[in-house]
Amino acid sequence: MRQPSRHASPEAPRPASREASRPASREAPRPASREAPRPASPRAPWIGVGGVVVAFCVLGALHLLTVAPFLPADETPHTGYAVVVANGSLPTLDTPTPLLPGMPTHFPERLQVYTANHPPLFYWLAAVPLRLGIGAGRPIAGFYAARLLSLALSAIGIVAVAALARLLVPDRPAVAVSAAGLAAGIPPFQQIAALVHNDGLAFAAASATIAASALVLVRGPSARRIAVLAVLAAAAALTRATNLPVSALAALAAGAAALVHSGRPPARRLAAGVAACGAVGLATLAASGWFYLRNLRLYGDVTGVAHSRVIFGQLPRGTLAEFLTFDWLVEVHDLLWGRLAGVQQLATGGAAVTYRALTLVILAGAALAAARAAVRAAHRRARQAPAPASASTTARVPAARDPAVRGRALAWALALAVPALLYVSLIGFFADGGGLHARYLYPGLAGLAVGGAAALSALPGGRRGLPAIAVLGVHLGMASSFWVTWVARVDRSHRAVLAEIARALARTGLPATPVLAVAAALLVAGFAAAAWSIRRLGGPRVARPLAVAPDQAAPPSLRPEPSGAAAG
């Protein structure tokens, strides 16, 4: 075999010179260490989320311990439902409410299980501690364990909100912490989550389903992701009828993800989308369809609300269009932020002004983010120029064609569509004679919280987390005030309020001073962890250099823009 010549041919490229072969780092100036942002630890967002969960659980535990058993009107039928389930059957709307041995009822006129039109998933879970307590001769212990279970399920939902934020705003991890704080900081939610109610599980199942839908849309469908989404959507539908829109949107998200991320021909892509959508939809129908058909057979409609209105003598108030007004929107806003039935003080006076001001701040941030996104889009269009033929094969896919970008846009639309649909449903329920309970909106808190947190990050100082930290601080103060006001019920002196708290804690056999000291320390620690995480994750983003060879570099007009246009 002929050996190659030792001398290079004239056409062969010359070896690089010694200067050109030196590492580029010797030629590039060294960045100043003070100006180079330190990379945040991947655990930093979850440290902050953990702090939010701790604060939420502490405030919820204070409600759990101090709110008298069955004092909230709906806790009696919810607990009775679980007791009936523990005995091996399902109640109807006309079933008498079984009371726990030795437990009082504050509403003797409400001794029917008027929550029996709800699906049974939460009650299957709550039946376990209740039955254990009854079997051990300590029904009160089983009751408080059921409350604790509801609080734990709600805390899982807070984590799901943070996971949704990481998917929707991937380049701003601090948004995950502030989104979790916005969802956890709603004072009535902290109390509802600590009662034997199915609202905590409804929030957790809906939030997890929305997060799983976003995961499928952003990263693409896989057998495992579709299976997880199907299980979560089924659990959401088996918890409350208000979660049915979430399950329906999850099925649509699975189908849309297959269409967006598949590179197959249109016919096969459509078949994959139908299969993914059908898998989630069929799992939901198999898990909960039997119960809604039972409602239809017993009460004449799948939700059972018509028969429920007959029980309470509720008459229609008007049409849906009559109540879809700005005044009723403000009413629902005040209910959502700080008002419970019978506890009106946090929806009036300075508290109402505070929460309305916070909402205006969030809306201002959303408007600013939208304006910045519009300006960026205009600049991007202005910079576009025809690409040279030699660069056409090396240029990246435009962002508009990127499946992850399109999937993230669809995930944003899904997350924000849920609260909108729930609001219309709530107003329609109220127009038909039902109650105007803001907790029916809790399955949509995830989208509202992530959107609000992204809006806060767009405000001046948002990169450093200052607006988010301030809002979380206000939330903590208002939530503490809500708890104290609930326990005291009326304005009293400092000593009288402490005495009332001590009496409330005495029902559980716990001393007031150590409990309050530990609670205060944990609240401060939780807020400090959240604030540290938000502040640590702030600052300028570091653009990652493209790994492109020098002879294949795209011209400036074709270089991609940084991601993260969701919140400017």
- Sequence-ordered list of residues with C-beta below 8 angstroms from that of 33, at least 6 positions apart, any chain: none
Does 112 map to a domain? yes
Question: Where does residue 9 rank: exposed (0-12), middle (13-18), buried (19+ CB within 10 A)?
Answer: exposed
The pLDDT value given to residue 510 = 86
The whole-number average pLDDT for the span 15-35 is 44
**Cα–Cα distance between 277 and 251 in angstroms, integer?**
5
Does 321 map to a domain? yes
Does 25 map to a domain? no
pLDDT band at 48 (very low <50, low <70, confident <90, very high): very high
| Maximum Cα interatomic distance, the chain, rounded to a whole number of Å | 105
Instruction: Tell me the pLDDT of the chain averaged across its residues.
Output: 82
Distance of CA 151 to the CA centre of its chain: 15
Q: What is the pLDDT of residues 99-153, one digit of tens each?
A: 777 666 666 656 789 999 999 999 999 999 999 999 998 999 999 999 999 999 9
Does 315 map to a domain? yes
Look at residue 17 and tell me whether its pLDDT is greater than 90. no
Q: Which of 246-250, 330-334, 439-443 has the lowest mean pLDDT?
A: 330-334
Tell me the CA distances in angstroms from 70 to 75, 76, 107, 264, 307, one per residue in order: 5, 5, 8, 57, 24
What amino acid occupies position 333? H
The pLDDT value given to residue 314 = 83
| Percentage of the chain exceeding pLDDT 90 | 54
Q: What is the pLDDT of residues 482-524, one digit of tens each?
A: 888 888 765 556 677 778 888 888 888 888 889 999 999 999 9
Structure tokens at 460: 């001046």
**Cα–Cα distance between 133 and 123 in angstroms, integer?**
15
The pLDDT value given to residue 566 = 37
Does 532 map to a domain? yes
Among 81, 313, 24, smallest CA distance to 198 is for 81
What amino acid occupies position 466? L
Say what angle helices 139-168 and 75-86 make with each other, to 10 degrees. Answer: 100
**CA atoms within 13 A of residue 267's CA, in its CB half-sphere:** 0
Question: How many residues can be counted in the chain?
Answer: 568
Among 250, 284, 209, 243, smallest CA distance to 118 is for 243
Provide the number of structural domains found in the chain. 1
Q: Enter the DSSP assignment of 108.
A: T
Q: Enter the DSSP assignment of 172.
A: -
Does 191 map to a domain? yes
The pLDDT value given to residue 347 = 45
Q: What is the pLDDT of residues 160-197, one digit of tens each?
A: 999 999 999 999 999 999 999 999 999 889 999 999 99
Residues 243-256: b if buried by 16+ CB within 10 A, e if exposed: bbbbbbbbbbbbbb
Domain boundaries, position 92:
43-378+403-540
The pLDDT value given to residue 491 = 53
**Cα–Cα distance between 172 and 536 in angstroms, integer?**
11
Question: For the residues of 306-344, what is the DSSP string, one character each?
Answer: HHHHHHHT------HHHH-SHHHHHHHHHHHHH-BTTB-
**Cα–Cα distance between 153 and 340 in angstroms, integer?**
21
pLDDT band at 362 (very low <50, low <70, confident <90, very high): very high
Q: What is the pLDDT of residues 297-355, one digit of tens each?
A: 999 999 988 888 888 888 889 999 999 999 999 889 888 887 654 444 444 556 778 88
Q: Which residues pair with 96 in a beta bridge?
A: 112
pLDDT: which is higher, 529 or 343 = 529
The pLDDT value given to residue 69 = 87
Question: For the residues of 425-447, what is the DSSP string, one character each?
Answer: HHHHHHHTT----GGGGGGGHHH
Give me the torsion for CA of 242, 247, 249, 252, rounded to 10°.
-160
Distance of CA 25 to the CA centre of its chain: 44
Give me the torsion for CA of 260, 264, 269, 272, rounded to 10°.
-100
pLDDT band at 7 (very low <50, low <70, confident <90, very high): very low
CB 116 within 8 A of CB 98: no
Torsion over CA: 366, 372, 374, 380 (sign): negative
Question: For the residues of 75-102, what is the DSSP string, one character each?
Answer: HHHHHHHHHHHHTT----TTSBPPPPTT
Which run of H or of E encompasses 17? none
pLDDT: which is higher, 1 or 82 = 82
- DSSP E strands in 196-271: the ranges are none
**Which pTM value belongs to this model?**
0.84
**Cα–Cα distance between 140 and 79 in angstroms, integer?**
12
**Cα–Cα distance between 427 and 330 in angstroms, integer?**
12
CB 189 within 8 A of CB 442: yes
The pLDDT value given to residue 563 = 37
Highest-confidence range of 12-16, 17-21, 251-255, by mean pLDDT?
Answer: 251-255
The pLDDT value given to residue 503 = 84
Three-class secondary structure of residue 510 per DSSP: coil
Structure tokens at 141: 């212990």
The whole-number average pLDDT for the span 409-418 is 96
Residues 530-568: b if buried by 16+ CB within 10 A, e if exposed: bbbbbbbbbeeeeeeeeeeeeeeebeeebeeeebebbbb
Does 397 map to a domain? no
3-state helix, strand, coil in the chain (%, to 5): 65, 0, 30
The pLDDT value given to residue 425 = 94
Q: What is the pLDDT of residues 277-299, one digit of tens each?
A: 999 999 999 999 999 999 999 99
Among 257, 273, 182, 149, smallest CA distance to 213 is for 257
pLDDT: which is higher, 76 or 383 = 76
Look at residue 210 and tell me whether its pLDDT is greater than 90. yes
Structure tokens at 163: 């996971």
**Cα–Cα distance between 328 and 23 in angstroms, integer?**
66
Does 136 map to a domain? yes
| Percentage of the chain exceeding pLDDT 70 | 79
Phi/psi for 341 (5° steps) reads: -60, 125
Question: Token match 């058993």: residue?
Answer: 69
Q: Which residues pair with 343 in a beta bridge?
A: 340
**Cα–Cα distance between 157 and 35 in angstroms, integer?**
38
Look at residue 383 and tell me whether its pLDDT is greater than 60. yes
Rg of the chain on CA atoms, in Å? 28
Which run of H or of E encompasses 65? helix 44-66
- DSSP E strands in 28-139: the ranges are none
